[in-house]
Amino acid sequence: MGSLLEDPLGVAERLDQFLGPSIYTWGELQAILNILFTAEERNMIRRAGMRIWDSQHAQGPLADTKWPLQDPNWNQQQQDHRINMQDLRGIIVQGIREAVPRGQNINKAFNERQKKEETPTDWLERLRKNLQMYSGLDPETPLGQALLKTQLVAKSWEDIRKKLEKLDNWQDRDLDELLREAQKVYVRRDEESHKRQVRMMVAAVRETRRIDAPPKTSQVAQRNGEGFPR
């Protein structure tokens, strides 16, 4: 289907085409969402879809009744239940379209990558500032956290990115947990670099001592002609 954060309009269109003209139960739609999206993305979709529904239906019914958290056991044989199923599908598709703010500012906010010597903490802070500066989004909102999480993984330095991508279900992990894992890689890399520098310094000192060391007695004797038959 594609990435919700990178192409919400495309994902919404493809899902709408995939669903086709059929009518789906609450359970079937939830199962599809669980397969396609992370928990955070599903929450983003639900909030956006319900917000739009309520703004378009000021006289009711409320979005909570159209997208309940528990299975309402709608029956396809009942017309009002079929209407609820169709409305839920529409709320989901619209929620996908509107889950992520549109415009070039989001792209500008994340048009950078982590520098090799930049700590993960500094890198994440730079992402936070860019998000606020260029998009106006609050980094602490669920949407802000989801965007930061995706960029932290995708745009980190290569060794950190590979480590984070290997984590099971990294999309569902807290941002702080991903930051801790990134920090481990950075510290290990720094320690290995320090060890290499120490080994190089030790080797250089040994080489200097070898060159500056006074010749052994046997070597001096040989230079003076001693120890050789005349």
Q: What is the pLDDT of residue 121?
A: 95
Sign of CA dihedral 48, 51, 54, 56: negative
Percent pLDDT > 90 in the chain is 53
pLDDT at 212: 64
Q: In 57-98, which residue ranges form alpha helices assigned H by DSSP?
A: 63-66, 79-98
Token readout for 26 is 């609450």
Q: Residue 81 — very low, low, confident or very high, per pLDDT cuts 50/70/90?
A: very high
Say if CB 109 and CB 131 are below 8 A apart.
yes
* 131-153 tens-digit pLDDT: 888 877 788 888 888 889 989 99
The predicted structure's pLDDT at residue 226: 53
Q: How confident is residue 49, by pLDDT bands cut at 50, 70 and 90?
A: very high
Cα–Cα distance measured from residue 110 to residue 195, given in angstroms and rounded to the nearest whole number: 34
Task: Tell which wins on pLDDT, 217 or 46.
Answer: 46
Q: Could you tell me which residues come within 8 angstroms of residue 147 by beta carbon, excluding any fewer than 6 positions away? A: 5, 100, 106, 110, 131, 137
Pair 81, 74: CB distance under 8 Å: yes
Q: How far is CA 164 from CA 122, 153, 161, in A?
A: 17, 6, 5
Higher pLDDT, 11 or 192: 11
Reported as a single tens digit per residue, the pLDDT across 157-190 is 999 999 999 999 888 899 999 999 999 999 998 7
Q: Which domains does the chain have, with CATH numbers?
A: 8-98 (no CATH), 104-187 (1.10.1200)
Q: Is the pLDDT of residue 78 over 60?
A: yes
pLDDT at 51: 92
- Reading the block at residue 230, the tokens are 């005349």
Q: Please report where in the chains the tokens 């949407």 appear, as a residue.
A: 143
Distance CA 142, CA 162 (A): 25
C-alpha distances (whole Å) from 138 to each of 61, 103, 200 are: 30, 16, 47
- Quickly count helices (H) and strands (E) in the chain: 11, 0
Please give the mean pLDDT across all residues of the chain. 85
pLDDT of residue 138: 84
